[in-house]
């Protein structure tokens, strides 16, 4: 096996996570799990930003007040 993916749905009308590892010689499931570990703490902020960017947490980038 060289590829793996994870799609997560919740209460909104789109998938809140759609993570993929399309090719690796290593374990693709571990690669997707590592991506999930990075994304999971940020998931709520991404959903909030999609629903109402004014209420989403600021990342402190130029132009983001």
pTM: 0.79
Cα-based angle 63, 53, 39 (whole degrees, multiple of 5): 95
Model confidence pLDDT, tens digit, residues 3-52: 999 999 999 999 999 999 999 999 999 999 999 999 999 999 999 999 99
Cα-based angle 12, 9, 5 (whole degrees, multiple of 5): 145
Supply the Cα-derived Rg of the chain in whole angstroms: 15
Domain range summary for the chain, segments of one domain joined by +: 4-51
Q: Which residues are bridge partners to 4 per DSSP?
A: 21
């Amino acid at each position: 096996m060289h590829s793996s993916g994870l799609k997560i749905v919740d209460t909104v009308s789109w998938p809140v996570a759609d993570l993929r590892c399309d090719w690796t010689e290593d374990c693709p499931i571990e690669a997707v799990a590592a991506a999930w570990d990075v994304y999971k703490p940020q998931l709520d902020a991404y959903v909030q930003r999609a629903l109402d960017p004014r209420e989403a947490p600021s990342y402190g980038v130029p132009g983001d007040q």
